[in-house]
Amino acid sequence: MKRIAVMTSGGDSPGMNAAVRGVVVRAENIGVETIGIYNGYEGMMEGRFKKLTMKDVDDVMHRGGTVLHSARSERFKTKEGQQDALDQLKAQGIEGLVVIGGDGSYKGALALQEAGISVIGLPGTIDNDIYGTDFTIGYDTAVNTAMEAVDKIRDTASSHLRTYVVEVMGRDAGDIAIECGLAAGAESILIPEIETPMEECIERVERAYRRGKKHSIVIVAEGVASGGEVADQIAQAVDVEVRVTVLGHIQRGGNPSCFDRLLATKLGSEAVNMLAEGESGYALGRQNNRLSKRKLSETGEDVNPRVLEEKKEKLTLAKQCAI
Ligand SMILES: Nc1ncnc2c1ncn2[C@@H]1O[C@H](COP(=O)(O)OP(=O)(O)OP(=O)(O)O)[C@@H](O)[C@H]1O
Ligand SMILES: O=P(O)(O)OC[C@H]1O[C@](O)(CO)[C@@H](O)[C@@H]1O
Ligand SMILES: [Mg+2]
Q: Is the CB of 103 under 6 A from ligand 1?
A: yes
- Give the model's pLDDT for residue 322: 65
At 266, the amino acid letter reads: K
In ligand 2, which atom is closest to the CA atom of 251? 10
Q: Is the CB of 139 under 6 A from ligand 1?
A: no
CATH code of the domain containing 285: 3.40.50.450
Nearest to 299 by CA among 288, 291, 290, 311: 311
Q: How many CB atoms lie within 10 A of CB 270?
A: 19
Asked if 133 and 232 sit in the same domain, the reply is no
- Give the model's pLDDT for residue 323: 62
Q: What is the interface pTM, i.e. ipTM, of the complex?
A: 0.98
Q: Is the CB of 174 under 6 A from ligand 2?
A: no
DSSP annotation of 137: B
Q: Is residue 322, in this structure, part of any structural domain at all?
A: no
Q: Whose CA is nearest to atom 3 of ligand 2?
A: 11
- Give the model's pLDDT for residue 317: 76
Residue numbers of the domain that contains 218: 140-252
Give the count of domains, the chain: 2
Packing angle of the helix pair 103-114, 79-91 (nearest 10 deg): 70
Q: Is the CB of 73 under 6 A from ligand 1?
A: yes
Q: Is residue 63, in this structure, part of any structural domain at all?
A: yes
CB 234 within 8 A of CB 242: yes
Q: Is residue 134, in this structure, part of any structural domain at all?
A: yes
Asked if 77 and 148 sit in the same domain, the reply is no
In ligand 2, which atom is closest to the CA atom of 125? 12
Nearest to 36 by CA among 79, 100, 87, 83: 100
Q: What is the 169 CA–ligand 2 centroid distance (Å)?
A: 7
Q: What is the 229 CA–ligand 2 centroid distance (Å)?
A: 20
- Give the model's pLDDT for residue 300: 79
For the entire predicted model, the pTM comes to 0.96
| SS3 of residue 298 by DSSP | helix
Q: Is the CB of 256 under 6 A from ligand 1?
A: no
Q: Whose CA is nearest to atom 6 of ligand 2?
A: 11
Which of 39, 70, 106, 126 has most ligand 2 atoms within 8 Å of its beta carbon, as the pocket-test mutant?
A: 126
Return per-residue pLDDT of the chain as tens, 323 residues.
Answer: 999 999 999 999 999 999 999 999 999 999 999 999 999 999 999 999 999 999 999 999 999 999 999 999 999 999 999 999 999 999 999 999 999 999 999 999 999 999 999 999 999 999 999 988 999 999 999 999 999 999 999 999 999 999 999 999 999 999 999 999 999 999 999 999 888 899 999 999 999 999 999 899 999 999 999 999 999 999 999 999 999 999 999 999 999 999 999 999 999 999 999 999 999 999 999 999 999 999 999 987 776 777 778 777 877 877 777 66
**To 10 degrees, the CA torsion angle through 65, 77, 268, 148?**
40
Q: Is residue 323, in this structure, part of any structural domain at all?
A: no
Active-site residue list: 127
- CA–CA dist 127, 207 (Å, integer): 31
Asked if 176 and 294 sit in the same domain, the reply is no
Q: Is residue 38, in this structure, part of any structural domain at all?
A: yes
- CA–CA dist 224, 18 (Å, integer): 32
- Ligand in nearest proximity to the CA of 296: 1
Q: Is residue 235, in this structure, part of any structural domain at all?
A: yes
Q: Whose CA is nearest to atom 14 of ligand 2?
A: 170
- Give the model's pLDDT for residue 318: 72
DSSP annotation of 65: S
Q: Is residue 42, in this structure, part of any structural domain at all?
A: yes
Containing 275, the helix (H) or strand (E) segment is: helix 258-276
